[in-house]
Amino acid sequence: MRLPSRDGYSVQAAVVLATATVLLVNLGGPPLWDDDEPKNAGASAAMLGSGDWVVPTFNGRLRPEKPPLVNWLHLIGYAGFGVTETGARIGSAVLTIGTAMLTTSTAARLFPTLPLVGLWAGMACGTCVWAGVAGRSATPDAALGFCTTLAFWLAALGLAPHANAGGRLTRRRAAAVGAACGAAMLAKGPIGLFLPLAALGLAAWWQECGSAQGVVDAIRAVCTACRRLRPGVIAATACLVAVPWYAAVTWQTEGTWLREFFGMHNVERAMRPLEGHGGPGWYYLVVLAVGLFPWSIVAAVTVWHAIRGLARPADAPALKIVLAWGVVWIGAFSCAATKLPGYVWPAYPALAIATAVFLEEWRLTQPPALVRWMRLAWSILGIAGIGIGAGLAVAAVVMSRGQAWIGLIGLVPVAGAVLAWREQSRARPGAALGWLAATGCATVTLLAAAAAGSLGHDTGVRPLVAHAAASSTATGTWASFRCTVPSLVFYSGAAARAGAVEMLYKPEAAREFAARHPDARFVVPVAEVDDLLRALPPGHGVLARSRLLSGYRELCLVGSWGAPLVAGPPRQ
């Protein structure tokens, strides 16, 4: 396998091509996955319908869960692709490509003596499993990841000793870092400023305290680190970017949005697990092993190599920046009570760089001590491929009959492991790493584009709305009965019309709703159909059924056989 040259343009082109393949192929094929995707996309559609770009709402109610950057990205996507899955996801895909490019540049600039370290770092960031998840989702994760990686890139190039005379941020660079953090605050809240500042502060202090002896020297190291980092400039610029919107939404909602956002979705999430999203302290070790796959096959030896690298004066300053970034993000969310896989996405660029440093030094030196470690890594890759294939085949049989072919995707990592092993045996480590990159690109693309599209094609709310749209072009009214399915708000078109889907739980409420809206269509779990039909007037029945990948096992579309059906929003 031929690798690109060390020239920056050819390396960036290879990273962009691989990441774009992972993210753009069949981007709008899978439906929006409940719950977060349709809530974000529906809030954006409500902004488009109402013309209010300041106050996020969902299904006619205030939505204090997220700031609006993800919604603004959706509005740009809707302008180009309509109110569709592609329109909701294209912003995340583009920003994730940008994140991979920034990771490539950061690695190449921090470790200039390693020719292809930028290539492996960009590939690891852009072709890992979680890139295929975050980059293809209508959630704020991709926006937060891009903004924090931009801050990481700007600050790392300023703090690295070889970047300027003192390894110190200029005021202009500190202001640029602050602007990136301000955008991150618009993506996810205060963590967009506090965690980057904490990570960069740790890195600057770590570089200063290497020769410190005693408490006095440690305090001096803190002061010197602050002078190098200019946290006041960073914080002030971040506030200039973010505070105007926070002030506007506080004014328009009389403080309600701000209280609920900070009280429930920041403080409470940190103090107790919300919505069942908890986990042990080692939760993110498992998440990262899966999310960074296939590059995580060398995770153990990468950690060992990075610790050893801290003893090398030439590499230690840059490694401290990279490790501090990863440790702060992972450590902070490991301490939080509420845990979700996407919370640590901003740490992936640092993990990708650490992985790339190890892989590139292995490529250049091929130390005999690592021969067995790398063969173990290829074995893990092959075993994981077998597990992926078996898991997909079982999922296809359970969820989507006739789609068991997707289990063949597991053969890709198996083939990649065999080819990489062969190239290592031929003393061609560069080719072995090339096959690892190709395996990541192909596997994640097939998982995200083919497997997700196949499993999700006939599941969820989308086929129910499509059934209604195929039956009639008349408009009508939608409601849910004893279920919360956020995607119904998006696919029914209620959000785009600045309307709402009625959520009903009592049979009497359903009877009254049907009396007011004879053309109403109800989405209901299969277990609740009989209760609903007993409450509705004669002539109502089940019009269509759909399975779910999670939550309620099966949903039904219930309505009057003679009533007009509502058309859903246009699809890609």
- The answer as to whether 502 is a domain residue is yes
Residue 566 forms part of a structural domain: no
Rounded to whole angstroms, the Cα distance separating 368 from 375 reads 12
Which pLDDT value is given to residue 564?
47
In three-state secondary structure terms, 168 is coil
Residues 6+ positions from 219 with CB-CB distance below 8 Å: none
Residue closest to 67 by CA, chosen among 215, 258, 216: 258
Per-block mean pLDDT, blocks of 10 residues, the chain (572 long): 67 96 95 89 93 93 94 96 96 98 95 95 98 96 97 89 65 95 97 95 82 62 79 96 97 94 85 80 93 97 93 87 95 92 96 97 91 95 96 79 83 97 96 97 95 82 84 70 90 80 93 90 92 91 82 80 47 37
Do residues 120 and 266 share a domain?
yes
Distance CA 183, CA 513 (A): 43
Residues 329 and 414 in one domain: no
pLDDT for the residue 387: 96
- pLDDT at res. 214: 59
Alpha-carbon span 298 to 293, nearest angstrom: 10
Judge if 422 and 535 occupy the same domain.
no
Domain boundary among 365, 380, 406: 365
pLDDT of residue 570: 37
Q: Tell me how far apart the alpha carbons of residues 500 and 397 are, in angstroms, rounded to a whole number.
A: 36
pLDDT at 124: 98
Amino acid, res. 370: L
Report the C-alpha gap between 443 and 386 in whole angstroms: 12
- Residue 468 sits in the same domain as residue 507: yes
Give the up-direction half-sphere exposure of residue 495: CA atoms within 13 A in the CB hemisphere. 28
Statement to judge: residues 180 and 80 lie in one domain: yes
Assess whether 361 and 239 both reside in one domain.
yes
How many independent structural domains does the chain possess? 3
Range of the domain at 440: 370-456
pLDDT given at position 401: 61
- Please provide the DSSP assignment of 448-496 as one string: IIIIHHHHHTTBSSHHHHHHHHHH------EEEES---HHHHHHTTTTT
The pLDDT of residue 404: 79
Same domain, 109 and 122: yes
Question: Among all chains, which residue has been given the structure tokens 């920046």?
Answer: 321
Distance CA 139, CA 40 (A): 6
In a domain, 571, yes or no: no
Examine the domain organization and report whether 60 and 176 are in the same domain.
Answer: yes
244 and 104 fall within a common domain: yes
- Contacts (Cβ under 8 Å, ≥6 apart) of 445: 21, 22, 25, 132
Q: Would you list the DSSP string of 521-558?
A: EEEEEGGGHHHHHHHSPTTEEEEEEEE-SSSSSEEEEE
Alpha carbon 200 to chain centroid distance? 22
The H-assigned helical ranges of 25-140 are 36-50, 69-81, 85-110, 117-126, 129-134
Gap between the Cα atoms of 19 and 394, Å rounded: 28
Task: Kindly state whether residues 64 and 193 are assigned to the same domain.
Answer: yes
Which pLDDT score, from 0 to 100, does residue 556 have?
A: 92
* Domain annotation covers residue 3: no
User: Is 444 domain-assigned?
Assistant: yes
In terms of domains, do 333 and 382 share one? no
- Does the residue 354 lie in any domain? yes
Is 361 found in the same domain as 374? no
Out of 332, 365, 398, a domain closes at: 365
The number of C-alpha atoms within 13 Å of 196 and in the hemisphere containing its C-beta is 36
The pLDDT value given to residue 460 = 85
Tokens found for residue 225: 């680190």
Among the candidates 330, 365, 400, a domain finishes at 365
